[in-house]
Amino acid sequence: MGNRGRSLTLLAGLLVAGPVLTGQAAQAACEDNVLQMRGDWGSARFAVAVADTVKERAVGLMFVEELPSTAGMLFVYDEPHPVSFWMKNTLIPLDMIFADAQGVVVSVHENAIPGDLTSIDSGAPTQYVLEINGGMAARLGIAEGSEMQHAAITDAAWPCE
């Protein structure tokens, strides 16, 4: 499947995204295609595609022309280490939310510029990166110290049931 077909398949799968929550999310059983976040700002739920192989992480959200507001991609690494991203072949602005081995946010890069080849560094050892629409992190209040909940986060600060 070409990049365009992969992008369309990704988007079709993400269109089932649930609404962004405004209250405190309850601890729930985790699903592979759902990531929840919480913090002093409240909570949110995103439909996610998971990139957990070298090939999937290399492609990421390249060539995606539109992303539903409550959707994203979760990049999963085997262990925490400094990571850096770029926006080569990425067509939409993205927020990158970097989290440690426990799913606790260590840094947020807002509104990465489509097509920009400048390296965007995590700033700290990172095991999980959530990419969402540019500006969404600020709108929700997602910041350092926020917590992620997902099936892939095995040593989570906010574990699944």
Specify if 10 maps to a domain.
yes
Specify if 82 maps to a domain.
yes
Secondary structure (DSSP) of 70-111: TEEEEEEEEEEE--EE--TT--S-EEEEEE-TTSBEEEEEEE
Three-state secondary structure call for residue 158: coil
Specify if 161 maps to a domain.
no
pLDDT of residue 3: 44
* pTM of the predicted structure, to 2 decimals: 0.86
- 73 with 13: CB under 8 angstroms? no
Specify if 158 maps to a domain.
no
- 157 with 128: CB under 8 angstroms? no
CATH number, domain containing residue 134: 2.60.120.1140
* Alpha-carbon span 98 to 65, nearest angstrom: 23
pLDDT of residue 161: 83
Give the pLDDT confidence of 82-92 residue by residue, as tens digits: 999 999 999 99
pLDDT of residue 29: 76
pLDDT category, 128, cuts 50, 70, 90? very high
pLDDT category, 78, cuts 50, 70, 90? very high
